[in-house]
Structure 1
Amino acid sequence: MLDEPRTTEGTTPETTPAPRGDAPRTIRLHETDNVAIVVNAFGLPAGTVFPDGLVLQEFVPQGHKVALRDIQEGAEIRRYGEVIGTALRAIPRGGWVEESRVHTPIAPDLDQLPLATRVPAPLPPLDGYTFEGYRNPDGSVGTRNILAISTSVQCVAGTLEVAIRRIKKELLPHFPNVDDVIGLTHAYGCGVAINAPQAVIPIRTLQSLAQNPNFGGEVMVVGLGCEKLVSERLLPDGQSDGVVRLQDERHEGFGMMLDSIMAMAEARLAVLNTRQRETCPAADLVVGLQCGGSDAFSGVTANPALGFAADLLVRAGATVMFSEVTEVRDAIHLLTPRAETEAVARALVREMAWYDDYLAQGGADRSANPSPGNKKGGLNNIVEKALGSVAKSGTSAIRGVLAPGERVRQKGLIFAATPASDFVCGTLQLASGITLQVFSTGRGTPYGLAEAPVIKVATRTELSQRWSDLIDLDAGKIATGEVTIEETGWELFRLILDVASGRKKPWSDHWGLYNDLTLFNPAPIT
C-alpha cells in the first residue's frame, strides 16, 4: 500500500492572498484567463477592493465572474484557459461578466478533432487497497445485497408495490443478510414502438439493470401478459424461469397474484441470504461519477477532487464511468486526444454526433443546458459548464465508450453515454454496472439511488454546512485554500472504500431518500 500524502503542493487554484475573516477573494484557474470567480458567500458589493488593486464596478454574486482586465466588445472571455464566449458589449475591469453580456461560441467541429494524439502514460499502480464486497458467480462484485424485482410494463407497478410492502414486512426479517427488496419499475413496455430502431435503448437498459452486481444474479420479473415487451426478454441468457405473469389463468384474484410474487421472491431471498461480504481488491469496484445542481465552483473544487479520486481508482485497477453527453460535448476536444486508441476516440465522436442529431430532431440544441439554477450559480453557458464537468474524468487515458444502457466489460476510465438529467443518467449508469456513485453538487439536490450507495460531494462549504445531513463530503475548502485537491481526492477515495464495504452509510441511505428510475426512450410512443 502506498503512503497517502497529507499535503501536496501546486494543486490549489490560483487565488487572491489568503484573507483574514471574510476579506474579498477570487479564484483564477489559468494564467491566460481574463476572468475570475468570487469566492465569498453571498457575493461582494460594488466598490470592493481586492489585495491586487482590483475594484468591483458593481455587485457580483458568489461564484460569478469578474473581469480582471478591460474586455472589449467581441473579445474572447477565457476561463479554464479556454474560450467560454465573447463579449456582447464592453466589460470594464472589475465588471460583472453576467450571462446577458456573453455570446456562446459554436461547439467543436466533430470532423476536426484530434484523435488519440495525446494519450496519457499509465499512472503508477496503486496496490494494496481493498473493500468488503459481495462476490457474484460471474466474478463481478457488489457493494450491496439486494433483491431487485424487474417489471416488464408499467401496468404492474402498483401490484409490485403492494407485494414489496408485504415482502419487507413478512419475509425480509427472516433473511438478515439481505439489505433490501426493491422494484425496478418504469413507464415502458406497452404503448410503445417496440421494434423502432431506438427502442434498443430502453430495452437494453432494462435487461442490463436486472444484472447489476448489487443484485447477486437473482433476476425476477413481474409482467402482465399482454404487453409488447415480453417478460422473458428481461431474463439473462439461459435462464428459463423467473417470471410471474398476472394474467396467468391460475391467478384467481389479486391475493393469488401477490402469493405468486412472494413465493418467487422468497426462493431468491434464500439464495441471496447466503452471500457474505469478503475482502476484494479495489480493482473490483465499478464507480459512477455524476454532477447535478452544478455551479461555477463545480469545476474548481468538487469535480477536480472527483477526477483525482478517479485517477486513484484507475491506478488501483477499478472501473470508473463518467457520462452526460451534453455536458461533455463542448469540451470533447479535450477528451478525444486522451482516448487510448483512435477507435475509442471515434466512439466518443459517434456518441456526440448521435446526440446532436437527437436534439435536432426534437427542435432543441445545446442552449437548453444549463438550467436556471446553474446560471444563478455562476455558469454562463454550456461551454463553461462542460469545461467544469469533464474535470470529473481526471487525467487517465479513456479506455472505452458505452452506448446508453450497455454493460461495462473492461477496467479503467470509461465514458458511458447518457443524457445530463440526473435521474436518467443515474438509471443508465446503473444499467452499465456501477455499484456505487459519487455525485457532486453546488446548488444542492436531495438525490439518491435505492440500487447503489451515492456519496454526495458539495462544491461549497456554505452548502455543506447548510445541508449537513445530506452532504457526505465538503470540497468547498479547496476554494478557501484550507485543503488541496489531492487531499480531498484521497479523502474521497477512502470514503468510497468505506461506503462500498458497508462501514459507512451515506446520508441518502440513512434517510432512505431515493429517486425513481427514469428510462431514456428516444423511440416513438404509439
Structure 2
Amino acid sequence: MNIVRLSDQDNVVTAIRPLDVGQDGATQRIPHGHKMACQPIGKGDAVLKYAQVIGYAAEDIAVGAHVHTHNLEFRAVDVDYAFSTNLKPAQVPLVQHSFRGFRRATGRVGTRNYLAVLTSVNCSATAARMIAAHFTPERLAAFPNVDGVVAFVHGTGCGMASSGDGFEALQRVMWGYARNPNVGGVLMAGLGCETNQIDWLIEAYGLTPGPLFQSMNIQDVGGLEKTIALGIRKIEEMLPHVNAFEREEAPASELMVALQCGGSDAWSGVTANPAVGYACDLLVAQGGTGVLAETPEIYGAEHLLTARAIDRATGDKLLRLIDWWEDYVARNHGSMDNNPSHGNKKGGLTTILEKSLGAAAKGGTTPLTGVYKYAEPVTAKGFTFMDSPGFDAVSVTGQIASGCNLVCFTTGRGSAFGAKPSPSMKVATNTDMYNRLTGDMDINAGTVLSDGQSVEEVGQQIFDMWLEMASGSMSKSEAQGLGDYEFVPWQIGAVM
C-alpha cells in the first residue's frame, strides 16, 4: 500500500511513501506524507481530508496532481456550530488501575517529588539557578525520595501592567507550579522592587509560609551572594521534609495528563494523535483527566469539540477563546494560517485547518467537560481544554500550572522536548523518524502504518506507559535531563 484515503468523502489521498510519476496514478512526484488529488478539484472548490474542509483549490487540480501550498489556499470556514450533539460517555473499565505516587496535603497525588525554586522576576533568575545548581546528585544522595531541586526562571515579571491578562496569567503560572502535586516544597526568590510582588501572590492565592514554602528577595537579604547562601540554607532545611513523602498506592483517577504535540507531520492525525486519544479515553474511563491545549491548533476543528461539550455554556466558552485568538492575530497583523510551521509543511501539512483536525484527535471521543484559561486550575474530571498558544514550551508550562502531573507529547518531525516537574513521554508518528531518534522517542505509533498495528493497540501501550511513568519509571527525555529550560510562561500584553 502506497497511499491512504482517510474517508470516502475525501478528494485527496496521502502518500505513505514517495510516489514517482505513474505510480498509483500520480502525474507529478508526490513526497512522503503529502497529498495527491484522487478526483478533479475545480478552482475554488473545497479540498476534503478526514471528511472535513482543509482549504480551497487556488486553481484547477487534476487527478494525480500534488496538492500543497502552491495550489491549496486557506480561508476561514463558515460553520453552524452544534452543541452537545455528540456525547459518548466513557466505557466502564473492566479493571480499576492504580499507580504509586506522592500524596499531598491537598489530596492530589504527584508522580514526582521535586523541590522548586520559583522566581517572581527575571532579575532573580541567576540566584535561583545558582541555588539549584548547588544541589548535585551527590548532595541529594541522602534524600532518595527527592527527584531534584529545579529552578523555574523566566524573562518577565516587571515592565508589565500590575493587572490584566498578562499579570494574572503569570501569577496563575507561579501559583500553579507551587501547588502542582509533583512539587513537594517551594522556595520563591524575587528582587524586591518588581511589578510581580511575591507578597501579592501569597495574599491573592492564600499560600501559607511554612516548612514546605519559603520566600525571599535579593534587596532585603542584602545582595546576590547573600541571597544564594540563604537560599541554599533554606533548601537544606526543607529537604528532610520533602524527603519524608513516600510513594503509596493511588487510583489512576489522580492522573492529569497534558496532551501535547509538536513538530507535527501528515501522520500526526493518522497514527499518534488518535492513539493518544484512545489512551485519553481509557484514562477518562478510570476517572482521570486529559487536558488538551494549543488553541490555534484546534482552529477549524472547534466545531468537533463544541458537539462534544457537556453543555452549551462549555461550548460557548470554547468559542469565546476562538474569537479572542482571531482578534489577537488580527491586531498583530498576522493570520491563523501562520501556523503550521515550515517543518510542518515539509512533513505534508498545508493549512492550519488540516493541522487542527489532526491535533484535536488527541482528545479522544468522550465529552468535553471543562474549558479553562491559560494556567487556570483544572477542576473537572474527564476530557478538558486549556487555552494556550501553539508554542510547545509555553503551552506545557500552562498545562503543568493547571495541575498536570504527566505530559504526553506526539511528534512527527522529531522533538527533543522534556518537562519538569511533570515528566514528558514522546510518541513518534512514523517509523522512519522513530528509527532516527530512538534515543528520544518512547513509543512508535508509526507501526499503525508500517506494521499493521491498530490505533487501539498503540493507545493501550501509551496508557500503560502513563501508569509506569506515574510510578517512577523515567521517560527518555527525563533520563536525558530535559526540563530545566522549558519553563516559559506566556507573555500577554505590552512590555513597558
Q: Paired residue for 1:30?
A: 7
2:105 to 126, 129, 137: 137
- Is 1:397 the counterpart of 2:367? The answer is yes
Distance 1:74 1:410 in 2: 43
Identity over aligned pairs, percent = 37
- Shift, 1:339, TM fit: 0.3
SS in structure 2 at match of 1:127: coil
Displacement, 1:161? 1.3
> What is the aligned counterpart of 1:186 among 144, 148, 154?
154
Q: Does 1:246 align with 2:215?
A: no
The answer as to whether partners of 2:375 and 2:399 remain within 8 angstroms in 1 is yes
Q: Is the Cα–Cα contact under 8 Å of residues 126 and 312 in structure 1 kept in the other structure?
A: no
Distance change in 2, residues 1:520/1:197 (3 Å): closer
How far the C-alpha of 1:113 sits from its partner, in A, is: 1.7
Q: CA deviation at 1:181?
A: 0.6
Q: Pairwise mapping of residues 274-289 of structure 1 onto structure 2 (< 5 A)?
A: 274-289=244-259
Indicate the SS of the match to 1:423.
helix
CA contact (8 A) 2:265 2:412 kept: yes
Q: Which moved more, 1:355-364 or 1:415-424?
A: 355-364
Q: Distance in 2 between matches of 1:194 and 1:359?
A: 24
Q: What's 1:5 paired with? A: none
Q: 1:159 aligns with which of 127, 130, 155?
A: 127
Given that residues 171 and 266 in structure 1 are in contact (C-alpha distance below 8 angstroms), is that contact kept between their aligned partners in structure 2? no
Q: How many residues align?
A: 490
Match of 1:86 among 42, 56, 62: 56
Correspondence for 1:310: 280
Counterpart residue number, 1:231: 198
**Tell me, what secondary structure is at the counterpart of 1:128?**
coil
Deviation at 1:119, TM superposition (A): 2.1
Match of 1:459?
429
Per the TM alignment, residue 410 of structure 1 is displaced from its structure 2 partner at its CA by 2.0
Q: Could you say which residue in structure 2 is the equivalent of 1:509?
A: 478
Equivalent in the alignment of 1:320: 290
List per-residue Cα deviations over 1:79-120 (Å, max 9, x = no partner).
Answer: 0001212212222211111211012231445xx422223322
Residues 90 and 284 of structure 2 are in contact (CA less than 8 Å); yes or no, is this contact kept in structure 1? no
One of 377, 402, 408 as aligned partner of 1:432: 402
1:200 aligns with 2:200: no
Partners of 2:285 and 2:167 lie apart in 1 by 37
Decide whether the 8 Å contact of 1:232 with 1:243 is kept in 2. no
Matched residues in 2 for 1:497 and 1:462: separation?
27
* Separation in structure 2 between the aligned mates of residue 126 and residue 363 of structure 1, nearest angstrom: 52
| Cross-structure match for 2:232 | 262
Q: 1:64–1:378: 8 Å Cα contact kept in structure 2?
A: yes
| Pairing 1:519–2:486 present | no
CA contact (8 A) 1:329 1:386 kept: yes
* Corresponding residue of 2:186: 219
Structure 1 outlier segments of 4+, above 6 Å = none
Instruction: Give the whole-Å Cα distance in 2 for the aligned partners of 1:364 and 1:142.
Output: 40
Once the two structures are TM-superposed, the CA of residue 169 in structure 1 deviates from its matched residue by 6.1
* Unaligned residue ranges in structure 1 (runs of 5+): 1-15, 17-24
Contact kept in structure 2, 1:212 and 1:434, CA below 8 Å: yes
Alpha-carbon distance in structure 1 between the residues aligned to 2:297 and 2:246: 39
Alpha-carbon distance between aligned partners in 1 of 2:41 and 2:451, rounded to the nearest angstrom: 28
CA distance in 1, matches of 2:479, 2:209: 37
Partner Cα separation in structure 2 for residue 381 and residue 494 of structure 1: 33
Unaligned 5+ runs, structure 2? none
- Measured in 2, the distance between the counterparts of 1:462 and 1:60 equals 17
SS at 2:270 equivalent: coil
The amino acid across from 1:27 in the alignment is V
Residue in 2 that maps onto 1:210 = 178
Give the CA deviation at 1:127: 3.4
For residues 121-146 of structure 1, the C-alpha deviation after alignment (integer angstroms, 9 at most, x for no partner) is: 34224532111111111110111010
Q: 2:347 aligns with which of 344, 367, 377?
A: 377
Question: What code does the residue aligned with 1:164 have?
Answer: A
Question: Could you tell me how far apart the structure 2 residues matched to 1:438 and 1:197 are?
Answer: 27
Q: Is contact 1:457-1:474 (8 Å) kept?
A: yes
Report the TM-score when normalising by structure 2: 0.95
Change (3 A) 1:126 1:228: farther
- Partners of 1:108 and 1:480 in 2: how far apart? 37
Cα distance change, pair 108–208 in 1 and its aligned pair in 2 (3 A): farther
Give the alignment's Cα RMSD to 1 decimal: 1.6
Aligned to 1:12: none
Q: What letter matches 2:291 in structure 1?
A: M
